[in-house]
Every structure is written in C-alpha cells, then in structure tokens.
A and B are shown apart, each in its own frame.
Chain A
Amino acid sequence: MSSLLRFFRGQPPSDPLAPVDPKQERIPRRSSGLGEFTRALAGQEALRILDLGPTSAANITHFTGLGHKYHNEDVLVSAMDPTLVTGTGMNDAVGFDVDRFMRENLNHEAGIFDAVLLWDMADYLPEPLVKPVVARLHKTMKPGGALLGFFHTKDAGPNAPYFRYHIDAASKTKDGLLLQPVWKPGDNKQKTPMFRLQRVFANRHVENLFRDFASIKFFLARDNVREVLVIR
C-alpha cells in the first residue's frame, strides 16, 4: 500500500499508472484456456474473481454482470516500485525486498477466491517474486478454484509488446480476448513496451511452479503463448 502512496506523490515519466490511450488498437484473439476457464465458472453465482492484470473496464463489466464479486490487483505495477530494490550493485548485491512486497500486496484472507486471472504476469515479474506470489495465490484460492495463466514460449525481443487482456464480451464462443498493447508513455514514435519479458518458462518449469496445485492443463496457441488452466 505504501508503494502506491509513493505513486500518489508524483508520477515519474514512465509511470505505469499513467492513463492509457483508449485509441490504442485491440487485437482479437481466441483463447482455449479462457474458454475452459469460463466453463469452469459456468452456472455459479457470486464467485470471487481475482484479476491480476491491469485495470480493464471490460473485465469488470463482464464479471460483475455475471453477478460475481471482482477484485483487481495489478501486481506487476506494484512490483516495479524502485524502492523495493535493495543494494546498489558492485560490491553491494542487488536484491529485492520480497517480505515488504508480500506485506503490501495480495493481502487477502486464505481460501477466498474462486478464480484467478494470472494472465502473463509471471513472465514479467522480478525473479524473486515469482514463487512467493504463486504460493500466496495457492493460499488465497479455494480448493477447486481455477487459475488461468499465459506463458510465452519464446522471447520475441525487447520490443515485443506487453498486452493488457480484455475479455471480449461479444464473443459468442466465450473464449474471445482483445489484446491491447501497452506502451511506455512519452515518445509515441518509438514504441517501448511498458514491461519487458523477464523469462521464458519451459513446460516442466510451469509444472514445477504449480506443483502444490491439484491439476494443470496446457493449451498451446499459435502466437507462441502457452495457456494453462490450473485447479487449486
């Protein structure tokens, strides 16, 4: 929370909280994982959904329209707080204040969420946070809860866009997404992705990451993204 208070004091030039240009294109994409995720929630009401991506009016409208309780927490933005980085490099090893981050983020009661939208956040998180965040999600999810995650199968380079995922409410097959690239604000001529891909998980790494969960199902898409549906 205090990291966001620091944001209140002023916005740095490359501020992830800066307003997104609504005119940025949205790329339609079918998602088998989303289809399975939607089917897992079908017929149930008043579920608690945790969306770990950037704020999306479309997602909020979608889930609240279905009668669910919706929670949004853009963990990636919080993870980019420079005050969480400890050390200065050289002789002082650079580290990350994981304890403080976990105190200030994903602070929910145990076993409260029926479903989690991880999107591709795990690919962009600082390395020290990946396992603690997944462990916290395991704790906050109900047994039987569903988690949808995306993992890149290859690094497309430093200019590969970072996407905000919007559920396409108009999709008749209930598996439509609209991908909105998010660029760093400032120079519109040189489009720099808001976040840089940190890693590429292999299948076994993804399985290992969710080893405490009950089951995991993979869906391979054509755009070099591996989708997983994990059951708590």
Chain B
Amino acid sequence: MWKSVRKEDERPATPTPAAPSVAASPPAVPVKEVKPLMEPPKIDSYRADVAHIGKSVLVKGELSGSEDLYLDGEVEGSIDLRGHSLTIGPNGRVRANVNALDVVVHGKVEGNLRAADRVELKKSAILVGDIFTQRIVIEDGAFFKGGIDIQKADAKPEQKAAAAVAAPVVSHTPPQQPATTAVSVAPHPSLLEPKKF
C-alpha cells in the first residue's frame, strides 16, 4: 500500500505509520519532513560513547583507561579512570579500589572510591569502603558502610599528597601504551588493603 518508486522514500528520515488505519484520515496540515524521534539514550546507544563491561565478564587485575566506563560485570583488583566517569551497573560487583572523575553505583562495591568530582549511590547500591570526593549523592535505600571524606577543590594538592600516603592507587599503565581501556593488564596478587581512617 505504501509502495513508492522513488528511492528517497526508502530513507528512514520519514517515519512510517504502524498501521494503515492510522493514516486513513488526511492530515489537516501539509505533511512536512519529520526528523527521527529522539529516543532517550539506551544502553546500546550509551555503549557507543562509553566502554562497556557486560554482566558475564569477570576481570581480575588492574583496570585502567582513558574513557568513560559502564561496568556491569565483576572486577577484582583496581580501577583507574582518572578524569573519566565510572558507572557500576545493577549487576556490577566490584572488589577494587576505584579512582575516577565521577562514580555512579547501582550495584555492589567493596573498596574505596576516590572521585575527583562526585560519587552517587543509587538506591540499589551497596558500598563497603571509604569515599573521598567533592560531592556525594545518596539515594534513599542505598547501603553504605565506611567513611566519607568530602574534599574541596582547593584542598586537592594537599589531599593528593595525603592520599598518596594513606591509600596509594596502584596503576602500572606504561606511558608507551595506547590510551585505550585495558583489561587484565597485570594480575593483582593481593586483595584490598584494610580500611584505615
């Protein structure tokens, strides 16, 4: 019924009605070219801009990268995404110290979170560890066991020195390696360091 000879009509620019009855009545105004409906970002489109670790993936070792990461699997070791965001999905299980720009937690984390900007615990989050950040958002329902140290931006230089002494983040990414998200670069022999306040 909607056969068209012209090739332009095959382009997905104009949405096709789902059923003929929908388009039975003639439009009140001249039909204009309609841009594709902008759907809210889903995981698939989010994945295009963000590295993604699926829920069946287990990583043991040091995880580092220079892009945002959505982690829905299991990680043991350490995670270093300085300057980038880490989102731990609802299936995510992390036993690692984390260093990133922002950290959003939907799943379970055992380890210290160090975020230069913000940490957000969603209502399904379970975090056992300390938080070092400028801002923190905790949804009602989140479980948290540990300490929170709010560090203002102007205290960063002092706190970097203190952080280096208190809880050094191990990152062995060699400078000659390309800036990509590396997985299992090196096995991490020890578990998390004990909490210290």
Contacts and interface: CB of A to CB of B under 8 A. Distances in A.
B145 A73 contact: yes
Given A22-B123, A55-B142, A57-B140, A69 B195 contact: no
A60 interface: yes
B165 to A, nearest CB: 16
A39 to B, nearest CB: 23
Interface stretch (B11-19, B43-51, B146-154, B169-177): B146-154
B183 to A, nearest CB: 22
A72 B141 contact: no
A17 B124 CA distance: 9
A71 B93 contact: no
Interface in B64-105: 93
B138 A57 contact: yes
B138 A8 contact: no
B114 interface: no
A5 B143 CA distance: 13
Interface of B: prevailing SS: strand
Interface residues of A, number: 27
Which bucket holds chain B's interface residue count? 20 to 34
Nearest to A50: B147
Nearest to B144: A55
Contact of A69 (B93, B126, B148): B148
A69 B136 contact: no
B148 A60 contact: yes
Nearest to A164: B140
A220 B93 CA distance: 45
Interface of A: 1, 4-5, 7-8, 17, 19-22, 48, 55, 57, 60, 64, 67, 69-74, 77, 107-109, 112
